[in-house]
A and B are shown apart, each in its own frame.
Chain A
Amino acid sequence: MHTRTTRRRFLKGAGGVLVALPLLDSLRARAQEPAAPFPKRFVTMYNPNGTVHASWFPTGGETDFVLNEIHKPLEHHRDKLLIFQGVNATVTATGPGGPHQRGIGSLFTGHELLEGEFVDGCGSRAGWANGISIDQAIANQIGLDTPLKSLEIGVRAIEADVQARISYAGPGQPLPPMNDPTEVYERLFANFVSAPIDPDDPTDQRASVLDTVETQFDLLNRQLGAHDRQKLEQHLELVRDLERRLGSGTGEAGSCDTPVAPAVLDPNNENDMPAVMKAHLELLAVAFACDLTRVASLQISTGFNRIRFPWLDSLSEGHSLSHTGASDEESLAQLVARAKWHSEQLAYFMDLLAQIPEGDGSVLDNTAILWGNEVSVGNTHSLENIPYLIAGNAGGALATGRFASFEAASANDLLSAVANAYGIETETFGHPDYASAPLTGVLV
Chain B
Amino acid sequence: MALVVSALGLVASACQQPVSSSKPPPPQDVEQPLMCEGTQPGTATLRLLTRTQYDNTLLDLLGDSSHPAQSFPPEHRVENFENNAETHQANPLLVEKYWGAARDVSARAVAERLESIAPCAEGASLACADSFLTNFGKRAFRRPMLPDEADAYRALYAKAEPTLGYPAAIGLLLEAMLQSPQFLYRVEAPIAATPETGAIPLGGFELASRLSYFLWNSMPDDELFRAVDALELSTPEGVEVQARRMLESPKARAMVSDFHRQWLDLDRFDGLARDDATLPVVDSQALTDAWKQSLLSYVDHVYWSGSGTIQELFNSDVLFVDPTLANLYGVAAPAEGTFAGVAQPGQRAGLLTQPALMALLSHADQSSPIQRGVFVRSQILCDPPDPPPPTVNNNPPDPDPSLTTRERFKVHTENVVCATCHQLIDPLGFGFENYDQFGRFRSVENQLPIDASGAIVDSPDPAIDGPFTTPFELTNRLGSSEAVLNCLTTHWYRFAMGRVETESDVCSLDQARTKFVATGGDLKELLVALTLTDAFLYRPAMLEGP
Stretch of A59-67, A174-182, A340-348 that contacts chain B: A174-182
Smallest CB–CB gap between A267 and chain B, Å?
Answer: 8
0/1 string, B35-52, CB within 8 A of A gives 1: 000000000011000000
Contact A118 B78 (CB under 8 A): yes
B152: Cβ under 8 A from any A Cβ? yes
| B384 touching A123, Cβ below 8 Å | yes
A223 touches B190 (CB 8 A): yes
Question: Is B189 part of the contact surface with A, judged by Cβ < 8 Å?
Answer: yes
A324 at the A/B interface (Cβ < 8 Å)? yes
Q: Tell me if A213 is interfacial: C-beta within 8 Å of chain B.
A: yes
A224 to B46, CA, bound (A): 9
Q: Quick one: which of A164-214 are within 8 Å of B by CB?
A: 169, 173-176, 178, 183, 187, 190-191, 202-203, 205, 208-213
* Residue B386, interface by CB 8 Å: yes
Query: In angstroms, how far is the closest chain A Cβ from the Cβ of B205?
Result: 13
CB within 8 Å for A216 and B181 given contacts A235-B90, A235-B95, A308-B273: yes
Q: Which residues of A contact B364 (CB under 8 A)?
A: 308, 315, 317
- Is A316's beta carbon under 8 Å from chain B? yes
Known contacts A205-B160, A380-B390, A381-B390: does B152 contact A215 (CB below 8 Å)?
yes
- From 130 to 162 in chain B, residues with beta carbon under 8 angstroms from any chain A beta carbon are 146, 148-149, 152-153, 155-156, 159-160
B218 → A minimal CB distance (Å) = 21
Cβ contact within 8 Å between A223 and B179 = no
- B75 interface residue (CB < 8 Å to A): yes
Closest to B183 in A: A216
Which residues of chain A are within 8 angstroms of B84 by Cβ–Cβ distance?
A: 117
- A269, B363: Cα distance in complex, Å: 16
- Say yes or no: A325-B393 contact (C-beta < 8 A), given A117-B78, A160-B77, A205-B159: yes
- List the A side residues contacting B86 at CB < 8 Å: 117
Closest Cβ of chain A to B273, distance in Å, is 6
Of A16-24, A237-245, A408-416, which binds chain B? A237-245
**Would you give the 0/1 interface string for A314-326, flagging 1 where the beta carbon is closer than 8 Å to chain B?**
0111001101110
CB distance from A323 to the nearest CB of B (A): 5
Interface string of A112-141 (1 = CB under 8 A from B): 000011110111100000000000000000
Q: Give the residues in chain B near A235, CB-CB below 8 Å.
A: 89-90, 95, 181
Cβ of A149 and Cβ of B92 under 8 Å apart?
yes
**Chain B residue nearest to A148 in the complex (CB):** B92
* A382 (CB) vs chain B CBs: closest residue: B390
Inter-chain contacts of A321 with B (CB < 8 A) = 395
Q: Give the contacts of B83-109 with A (CB-CB under 8 A).
A: 84, 86-87, 89-96, 99-100
A219-267 CB contacts (< 8 Å) to partner B: 219-220, 222-228, 231-232, 234-235, 238-239, 241-242, 266
Residue from A99, A210, A216, A310 within 8 A of B390 (CB atoms): A99
Closest to A172 in B: B89
Chain A residues closer than 8 Å to B395, beta-carbon distance? 316-317, 320-321, 323-324, 328, 331
B91, B275, B544: the one contacting A226 at CB < 8 Å is B544
CA distance A95 to B96 in the complex (A): 33
- Please determine whether B46 and A242 come into contact, CB atoms closer than 8 angstroms: no
* Chain A residue, CB-CB nearest to B265: A159
Residue contact B387 to A219, C-beta cutoff 8 Å:
no
Contact B96 A234 (CB under 8 A): no
Decide yes or no: A324 and B182 within 8 Å by CB, A123-B386, A225-B542, A231-B46 being known contacts: no
Check A212/B153 contact, CB under 8 A, given A117-B78, A324-B393: yes
B74 lies within 8 A of chain A by Cβ? yes
Known: A234-B90, A321-B395, A323-B392. A98 touches B74 (CB 8 A): no
Let me know if B387 and A217 touch, CB within 8 A: no
Q: B146 contacts which chain A residues (CB < 8 A)?
A: 219
B449 interface hit (Cβ, 8 Å): no
Which chain A residue shows the least CB distance to B157? A212
Asked whether B73 lies within 8 Å of A176 as measured between CB atoms, the reply is yes
B182 touches A220 (CB 8 A): yes
Interface-centre pick from A176, A178, A222 (highest chain B CB count, 10 A): A176
A178 touches B190 (CB 8 A): no
Q: Does B180 contact A (CB under 8 A)?
A: yes
Q: Find the residue from B155, B271, B378 having the highest chain A CB count within 10 A.
A: B271
Given contacts A219-B146, A325-B393, A331-B395, contact A119 B79 (CB under 8 A): yes
Q: Which of A98, A178, A219, A235 is most buried by chain B, counting CB atoms within 10 A of its CB?
A: A235
Give the Cβ gap from A152 to chain B, nearest Cβ, in Å.
7
Interface size class of A (residues with CB under 8 A): 35 or more
Interface status of B312 (Cβ within 8 A of chain A): no
Query: Which one of A122, A213, A223, A227 lies within 8 Å of B187 (CB-CB)?
Result: A223
A270 within 8 A of B: yes
The residue of chain A having its C-beta at the shortest distance from the C-beta of B365 within the complex is: A315
Interface assignment of A158: CB less than 8 Å from any CB of chain B: yes
B164–A216 touching, CB < 8 Å: no
CB contacts (< 8 Å) of B175 on chain A: these are: 209
Say whether A379 faces chain B, with CB atoms less than 8 Å apart: yes
B176 at interface by CB-CB < 8 Å:
yes
Roughly how many angstroms separate A317 CA and B271 CA in the complex, as a whole number?
13
Q: Do B393 and A176 touch across chains, with their CB atoms under 8 A apart?
A: no
Contact, CB under 8 Å: A219 / B390: no
A25 CB–B CB distance under 8 Å: no
In the assembly, what is the distance between CA of A398 and CA of B94, in Å?
35
Chain A residues with CB under 8 A of B190: 223-224
Shortest beta-carbon distance, B385 to chain A, in Å? 7
Known: A242-B96, A315-B365. A216 touches B387 (CB 8 A): no
Task: Judge whether B299 is part of the interface by a CB distance below 8 angstroms.
Answer: no
Residues of B within 8 A of A210 (CB): 99, 176, 179
* A28 adjacent to chain B (CB < 8 Å): no
A78: interface (CB < 8 Å): no
Would A212 and B387 be within 8 Å (CB), given that A118-B78, A228-B45, A324-B395 are in contact? no
Task: List residues of chain A with CB within 8 A of the CB of B176.
Answer: 209-210, 212-213, 216
Residues of A within 8 A of B363 (CB): 317
Are B79 and A216 closer than 8 Å at their CB atoms?
A: no
Cα distance A219–B187 when bound, in Å?
13
How far in angstroms is the closest Cβ of chain B from A305?
10
Cα distance A325–B191 in the bound complex, in angstroms = 58
- The distance from the CB of B91 to the nearest CB of chain A, in whole angstroms, is 6
Which residue of chain B has the shortest Cβ distance to A150 in the bound complex? B92
Cross-chain contact of A323 among B71, B181, B378, B394 (Cβ < 8 A)? B394
**B520 contacts chain A at the CB level, 8 A cutoff:** no
Interface CB pairs A-B, < 8 A, 24: A117-B86, A117-B87, A118-B76, A122-B388, A123-B385, A152-B93, A158-B271, A160-B74, A169-B91, A190-B100, A203-B163, A212-B155, A213-B180, A215-B152, A219-B152, A235-B95, A235-B181, A239-B95, A269-B285, A315-B275, A316-B395, A321-B395, A325-B393, A331-B395
- For the complex of A and B, list the 6 residue pairs with the smallest distance between their C-beta atoms, beginning with the closest: A122-B387, A268-B271, A176-B73, A216-B180, A235-B90, A268-B270
B positions within 8 Å CB-CB of A: 45-46, 71, 73-79, 82, 84, 86-87, 89-96, 99-100, 146, 148-149, 152-153, 155-156, 159-160, 163-164, 172, 175-176, 179-182, 185, 187, 189-191, 270-271, 273, 275, 284-285, 363-365, 378, 384-388, 390-396, 500, 542, 544, 546
> Residues on A close to B: CB < 8 A?
98-99, 116-119, 121-124, 149, 152, 156, 158-161, 169, 173-176, 178, 183, 187, 190-191, 202-203, 205, 208-213, 215-217, 219-220, 222-228, 231-232, 234-235, 238-239, 241-242, 266, 268-270, 308, 310, 315-317, 320-321, 323-325, 328, 331, 379-381
A205-B172, A268-B271 provided; 14 other pairs, C-beta below 8 A? A116-B87, A118-B76, A118-B78, A149-B92, A161-B77, A178-B93, A202-B163, A216-B152, A219-B149, A225-B189, A235-B90, A239-B95, A270-B273, A379-B393
